[in-house]
Structure 1
Amino acid sequence: MAGLCSKSVALDLLLLLLLVALSSFLSCSAELRRLDHPLKNDGSLSLLVIGDWGRKGAYNQSEVATQMGRIGEVLDIDFVISTGDNFYEDGLTGVDDKAFEESFTSIYTAKSLQKPWYAVLGNHDYRGNVAAQLNPILRRIDNRWICMRSFIVNAEIVEFFFVDTTPFVKKYWIDPEDDHYDWRGVAPREKYISNLLKDLHQALKESSAAWKIVVGHHTMRSVSDHGDTQELLTLLLPILKSNEVDLYINGHDHCLQHISSKDSPLQYLTSGGGSKAWRGVFTPNADKLRFFYDGQGFMSLQLTKTNANVAFYDVFGRVLYKWSMDKQLDKEM
């Protein structure tokens, strides 16, 4: 078993080296779809981040949604980011699946939340009909819904790079147990990941935004139930560090976390407390843990060209933790 694991890591490292070699020959822009989102008149941006939520209101999903609406109004948010696992347990069955309305439209009803929702797919979404979540027909049902595999949202001072992380995780391919994963449009895995990383690397390299933020479903660093995702540490993390990405935002673990990299400015932020939580697991890792809450809640992010302000809230809307970074001074506050 140890020999197989070593061979697997070696193949992943080879894939990364090939990617870096190929990227040096590229002169054209990356192929990720780009969307533009305007800033406020004062040049700022405000948003909420929620993950692992779609349970038709159960497990306090409705209560978290109520507080999101309240905080969203106070902060005058511009949009919402969903870090995946949008519909439990097995995604959507099709574009006519009532779970879309029962878990999304009928839950996030506050006026402040009637803004674009930029969403990535999680592993539970891949257990259903992935094409349904990606289908523009859902926008006719609820025009807030914007979901793609990987894409970029450009808001002038910041670019958000949304990354489809589920195909990275090998166990979903080779040992899915009783689960079925919808790999249409993704297989073969190695080619899909290679192309995605090549495009992401080029897009990050060409970005002139003051802030570079990458959003994915899976944890990169986590002290909770799922822990670190080794495939992301091997393949994705070097690209983030080499391109000076500021934040990696994810869900997957049903908690709220802030972890700082010990060898780079990169910050890991987990917002996966949209519904079912309380796993009772804590396993420290090599990086610096700044905040961990094993429960339900969500995150806010406020940005100007020089400042980032993060806050985590619990199911009652109480502020659990705040953190800020000053880009101009290039140090944490």
Structure 2
Amino acid sequence: MGSKFGTGSLNIVMTLLLCLILLLSMAPKLKAELTTVEHPLNSDGSISFLVVGDWGRRGLYNQSQVALQMGRIGEKLDINFVVSTGDNIYDSGMKSIDDPAFQLSFSNIYTSPSLQKPWYLVLGNHDYRGDVEAQLSPMLRSMDSRWICMRSFIVNTEIAELFFVDTTPFVDDYFLSPKGQTYDWGGVSPRESYIQTVLTDLEMGLRESRANWKIVVGHHTIKSASIHGNTKELESLLLPILEANNVDLYVNGHDHCLQHISTSQSPIQFLTSGGGSKAWRGYYNWTTTPEDMKFFYDGQGFMSVKITRTEMGIVFYDVSGNILHKWDTSKTSYTAFDVPL
């Protein structure tokens, strides 16, 4: 039996299909809901920044000494910005916009010329013990123009995108057994909906990213040998999204130490920079796969990251500015071959 469609009908069908494909290719792609901050590259196409966490103690516990060395290394590297992994104000965040802790723990401490660059900050669990909206308020930026703090957001440098994730609401214990602490959950409730929105927006942002390097920054650990250990909620909810979207680094604070973990089960490098002030916990527990622990230092310090389109280098420093650990990697720039539909 012959086809009931003639040549003319087939041509019409093919034309309609081609039109449909063309329309789909022209349709606007869904954009991530996360706020994006654009940060320009250096003239040579590179970007460099420092990472510090768990620092806001009015200069005490060697915070001022760490800040001094950050200034010196920042000048040497000619950094573009600073990343904070949270716990920006101890012990219980800010009481209000007018809390002097902001000046005493931030503006009066990080005074080196090289540190007068944007600071991109996430919130830690100690920040949630105070007035969260105070830390998020644009009024702080009017007091100190460096301060750029949001719950979750993206910093786009073209060759690298940094995805900042608000991890505190993920942790069950803060809700189920807060141990006498009061947390400011305004803007988070209902919690399940908030977490799902963060994960959805992050996944969308990572999937849409055309940057050659993807870095995720959060306060809480995914993997750690120090006193807080692995955060099970992030292992189950966040880590699969990172692995599915070719994330290169997960950078966190929370544990007051410096560490670099690289496992055979994951392509992600897990980096802790939580040595901005109080440290020396005297705790280490990483026995099942000792080869995965590339570096651990139970003391104060910070780290630097330098990125070009095809190369990345990280360095950890102690409170005296001594280099403790280096790690470098490279990859082919796929953006040149990434042809959109």
Same fold (TM over 0.5): yes
Q: Counterpart of 2:324?
A: 320
Amino acid at match of 1:89: D
Once the 2 structures are TM-superposed, how far is the Cα of residue 328 of structure 1 from its aligned partner? 2.5
Q: Is 1:202 matched with 2:213?
A: no
Q: Counterpart of 1:22?
A: none
Against the structure 1 CA distance between its residues 189 and 268, is the aligned structure 2 distance closer, same or farther, given a 3 Å change threshold? same
What is the correspondence of 1:58-137 to structure 2 with a 5 Å cutoff? 58-137=60-139
Q: Counterpart of 1:304?
A: 308
* Counterpart contact for 1:257–1:292, Cα < 8 Å: yes
* Counterpart contact for 1:221–1:285, Cα < 8 Å: no
Q: Counterpart of 1:35?
A: 37
Against the structure 1 CA distance between its residues 234 and 295, is the aligned structure 2 distance closer, same or farther, given a 3 Å change threshold? same
Q: Is 1:236 matched with 2:225?
A: no
Q: Partner of 2:92: helix, strand, or coil? A: coil
Once the 2 structures are TM-superposed, how far is the Cα of residue 105 of structure 1 from its aligned partner? 0.2
Against the structure 1 CA distance between its residues 286 and 136, is the aligned structure 2 distance closer, same or farther, given a 3 Å change threshold? farther
Q: Partner of 2:148: helix, strand, or coil? A: strand
Amino acid at match of 1:308: M
Q: Distance in 2 between matches of 1:328 and 1:301?
A: 18
CA radius of gyration, larger in: 2
Runs of 5+ consecutive residues of structure 2 not aligned to the other structure: 1-27, 335-341
Q: Counterpart of 1:15?
A: none
Alignment equivalent of 2:153, drawn from 151, 162, 168 = 151
Once the 2 structures are TM-superposed, how far is the Cα of residue 329 of structure 1 from its aligned partner? 9.6
* Counterpart contact for 1:249–1:270, Cα < 8 Å: yes
Once the 2 structures are TM-superposed, how far is the Cα of residue 178 of structure 1 from its aligned partner? 1.1
Amino acid at match of 1:129: D
Q: Counterpart of 1:171?
A: 173
TM-score (norm 2): 0.88
Amino acid at match of 1:71: I
* Counterpart contact for 2:53–2:275, Cα < 8 Å: yes
Once the 2 structures are TM-superposed, how far is the Cα of residue 128 of structure 1 from its aligned partner? 0.2
Q: Which runs of 4+ in 1 moved over 3 A?
A: none
RMSD of aligned residue pairs (Cα, Å): 1.3
Equivalences, count: 305
What is the correspondence of 1:226-305 to structure 2 with a 5 Å cutoff? 226-284=228-286, 288-305=292-309
* Counterpart contact for 2:261–2:270, Cα < 8 Å: yes
TM-score (norm 1): 0.90
Q: Distance in 2 between matches of 1:280 and 1:151?
A: 34
